[in-house]
């Protein structure tokens, strides 16, 4: 689209809170997926003693969020984090597949999907951000590190 087309559509404009929460939740869910893939790849490259990766790094790139979490659960011992991640899968699917159209009650009814109002969007955003933060902390704390060439053996 050209800048003239954006101008004709009223762009630039200030996002409404719903749209902002939608974007932040989407960012959090994408970050969770990327961090999980990175964690799994680090374990595959540098497996801790007694851990073997039962997956190929290339395949991990195409895993769904549910499968990423299940695979992560097999190599990570943080049960509370596993629960937190599993609790966001349904929310992630709502954001990914229907949140942009489910805001309007008439359209949601016509499509047979749940209405996602601002209150629900705020809840989803909070849960997504908490899960993302917990996962990043776990990654920093426990993901295998590449041996630094500058460190003595």
pTM, whole model, 2 decimals? 0.80
Residue 147, domain member (yes or no): no
Mean pLDDT of 25-51: 90
Residue 63, domain member (yes or no): yes
Residues counted in the chain: 153
Question: Which token pair is 89?
Answer: 């899968």
Closest CA relative to residue 42, chosen from 60, 69, 30 = 60
Q: What tens digit of pLDDT does each residue of 3-20 get? A: 445 455 666 667 788 888
CA 39/CA 31 separation, integer angstroms: 12
Q: What tens digit of pLDDT does each residue of 67-114 get? A: 999 999 999 999 999 999 999 999 999 888 888 777 778 888 888 888
Residue 124, domain member (yes or no): yes
DSSP state of 38: H
What's the domain count of the chain?
A: 1
Domain that holds residue 56: 16-142
CA 149/CA 153 separation, integer angstroms: 9
């Amino acid at each position: 689209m050209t800048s003239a087309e954006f101008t004709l559509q009223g762009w630039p404009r200030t996002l409404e809170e719903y749209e902002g929460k939608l974007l932040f939740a989407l960012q959090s869910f994408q970050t969770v997926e990327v961090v999980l893939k990175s964690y799994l790849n680090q374990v595959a490259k540098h497996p801790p003693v007694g851990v073997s990766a039962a997956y190929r790094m290339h395949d991990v790139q195409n895993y769904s969020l549910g499968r990423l979490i299940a695979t992560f659960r097999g190599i990570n011992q943080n049960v509370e984090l596993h629960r937190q991640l599993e609790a966001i899968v349904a929310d992630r699917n709502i954001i990914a597949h229907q949140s942009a159209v489910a805001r309007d009650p008439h359209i949601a009814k016509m499509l047979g999907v749940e209405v996602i109002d601002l209150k629900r969007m705020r809840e989803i955003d909070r849960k997504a951000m908490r899960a993302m933060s917990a996962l990043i902390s776990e990654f920093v704390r426990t993901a295998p590190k590449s041996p630094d060439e500058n460190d003595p053996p």
